[in-house]
A and B are shown apart, each in its own frame.
Chain A
Amino acid sequence: MAVKAILYIMERDLRYFFRYKWWLAGMVSMNLADLFIMAVVYTRMVDPKIGNYFLFFSPGITITALFAAAFMIGREINREIRREISHYMLSLPIKRWELAFGRVLAGAVRGIIYMIPLLLTTLAVTALLAGNVPSALEILTIILALFLISIGTSGLSITIAVSTTSFEKYVTTRGVVYYVLFFCSTVFYPLKFIESVMPQAFALIAKYNPLSCGADLARSFLLRNQSIELFMPLDLMVFALIFASAALFAYMKIMQK
């Protein structure tokens, strides 16, 4: 029964996801602008000793895409609370934890579905420019790692969404979370530069930031420029577990208000 109920909730959220054609178009344009405008220009400015910046950044695009798509569920939940649609959700013959769990998972699945075309873009870029084609098992490992990030991000967005009824506060907090998590990670630049500029504490945060782990894990398979360390998958699991639990707790609590 629980699985069926969760699947119903996930199906509902997935149907909603594909209704937002404009949203998807907007997000695709943002992600592609990062890769095909920003990364292209920085490639012309970055010291060649560092390597090809476009190639370095391209696996990062999967993380930015995943993050944006998985964060969308929070936006919807925030709107449901403001418009009191949550009362309708409570009237459904579904337990509250099933509802909460279904929504966290739906957010994560949406992130993965949206990210796949961008992962394919990255695969094409790395195959063309670096000549690396990962095996099927390696691609599956990348998708699994990204799914864990997606669960954590979905949980994080739901936790923020239920903490405020103001849309502006949600949008602005989303922006800050985005900048802090991304800029203090290896999505945009290698760790050695963060270590050379930032205090030790920031460098540590950047190293163990789940977005860094996801990006570096993807790079290790796509660019073969670094080895995978044991803490990376562990870090991703902990991130997913903490924020999925926080979202379950916060969502169930707000629904009972």
Chain B
Amino acid sequence: MISLRNVWVVAERDLRTFLNYKHVLIMRALWFLAQIALFGLVVNKMLRPDVQEAVGGSYFSFYAAGIIISLLYSTSVFIGYDIYEEADHGVIEYLLSLPVSRKELVLGRSIGGGLRSFLYVSPMLMVVLYLIWSSNPQSFVSPLQLFIAFLALFLFTFGVSGFSITLAVSIKSSDKFDIFLGMINALIVRLSTTLYPLVYMPSYYAGIAQFNPLTFAADLFRWGAGLESAVLTAPAIAIFGIISFFSLFTFLGIFLHERVLEGGSWQ
């Protein structure tokens, strides 16, 4: 039986730990600014007028909405680095000694990891919404649409945290984890609609990208923000995709955490 109180205690600890990384948080915000203010603005100038039309009028808005999702992803995977830091300092053994079951521990960590990244990204999310709405004041935004999109993004962050925990406890080597995550980041972001819509991808890339959780999250956020475009993934499919992703990695995280966490062998 899972105690929600225990799950929350674990999640709360992760939220508090996150606030210790002030340097990292500031750097990530700069990272976001560089992507929006440098890459986004310049590339926006280089695109064909019909591409601008196809993405809802402004590629910059399309790109800004995608970048916030990649930021949400990159801050959610951060929980994996936390696990290595804890293994490095022997905190894992301390956590295992607590009167909290393994299931509660991983569920709490998954929720804490997702929640903290959502809270962290929220101000930047507001900036992106402001940019989108100010560039196209006529765009109609339904509060319900926005709420559904936010709820789905919430699940997305939990799923990504579960994914990161699954990788961290399976690999157990900080170097390999960093490399593997780098590889996955390179592919998962580029083979998604965070940077460009599916219609401009060659079919062999689009075939993969349409099942990418980042595609679901990015297109759902654009839909929620009122970016009207025919090139987005249908909201129902995107919601289904995110729920599947969340369920799979939360389950895998719990399953592996229970079996692999104990016994040391961390590198």
Q: Residues of A with Cβ closer than 8 Å to B?
A: 20, 22-23, 25-27, 29-30, 33-34, 37-38, 40-42, 44-48, 50, 53, 166-169, 171-173, 175-176, 179-180, 183-184, 188-189, 193-194, 196-198, 202
| B186–A189 touching, CB < 8 Å | no
User: What residues of chain B lie closer than 8 Å to A46, measured between beta carbons?
Assistant: 46-48
Q: A26-B180, A30-B182 are in contact. Are A176 and B30 (CB under 8 A)?
A: yes
Chain B CB within 10 Å — which of A33, A50, A184 has the most? A33
Considering only CB atoms, which chain B residue lies closest to A192 in the complex?
A: B45
Q: B262 near A: Cβ within 8 Å?
A: no
**Which residues from B are CB-within-8-Å of A172?**
23-24, 27-28, 31
Binary contact track B79-96/A, C-beta < 8 Å → 1, others 0: 001001100000000000
- B196: chain A residues at CB < 8 Å are 41-42, 45
Say whether B260 faces chain A, with CB atoms less than 8 Å apart.
Answer: no
A169 neighbours in B (Cβ, 8 Å) = 23-24, 27
> Does B244 interact with chain A (Cβ within 8 Å)?
no
Question: Given the known A-B contacts A167-B174, A172-B23, A172-B28, are A198 and B183 also in contact in the complex, defined by CB atoms under 8 Å?
Answer: no
* Complex alpha-carbon distance, A97 and B228, angstroms: 60
Spell out B's residues near A (CB within 8 Å).
21, 23-24, 27-28, 30-31, 34-35, 38-39, 41-48, 51, 59, 78, 81, 84-85, 174-176, 178-180, 182-183, 185-187, 190-191, 195-196, 200-202, 205
Q: Which of B85, B176, B186 contacts A167 (CB 8 A)?
A: B85
Q: Give bound CA distance, A169 to B25, whole Å.
A: 10
A40 lies within 8 A of B46 (CB): no
- Interchain CA distance A184-B29 in the complex, whole Å: 17
Nearest CB in chain A to that of B185: its residue = A30
Residues of B within 8 A of A27 (CB): 182
- B46 with A189: CB separation less than 8 A: yes
A161 CB, min distance to chain B CBs, angstroms: 14
B109 CB, nearest partner CB in chain A, Å: 17
Q: Contact check: which of B21, B23, B34, B205 meets A183 at CB < 8 Å? A: B34
CB contacts (< 8 Å) of A48 on chain B: these are 48
B200, A33: Cβ atoms under 8 Å? Answer: no
Nearest CB of chain B from residue A201's CB, rounded to whole Å: 13
Beta-carbon contact of B48 and A175 below 8 Å: no
Q: Contact between B183 and A44 (Cβ–Cβ < 8 Å)?
A: no
Contacting residues, chain B, for A167 (C-beta < 8 A): 81, 84-85, 174
The answer for the CA separation of A113 and B114 in the assembled complex, in Å, is 40
CA separation between A49 and B46, bound complex, in Å? Answer: 9
CB distance from A56 to the nearest CB of B (A): 10
Highest count of chain B CB atoms <10 Å: which of A42, A172, A176: A172
Residues of A close to B81: CB separation below 8 A: 167-168, 171
Give the residue name and chain of the B residue nearest to A83 (CB): B88
- Bound together, the chains give a CA A37 to CA B187 distance in angstroms of 9
Are B48 and A26 in contact (CB-based, < 8 A)? no
Nearest B residue (CB) for A189: B42
Q: Known A22-B176, A26-B182, A172-B27; judge A189-B190 contact (CB<8 A).
A: no
Distance between Cα atoms of A202 and B24 in the complex (Å): 24
Provide the bound-state CA to CA distance between A27 and B186, in Å: 9
Distance between Cα atoms of A117 and B56 in the complex (Å) = 40
Bound complex: CA A174 to CA B81 (Å): 15
Chain A: minimal CB distance from B136 (Å):
19
Nearest Cβ on chain A to B18's Cβ, whole angstroms? 11
Q: Give the docked Cα–Cα distance between A66 and B178 (Å).
A: 19
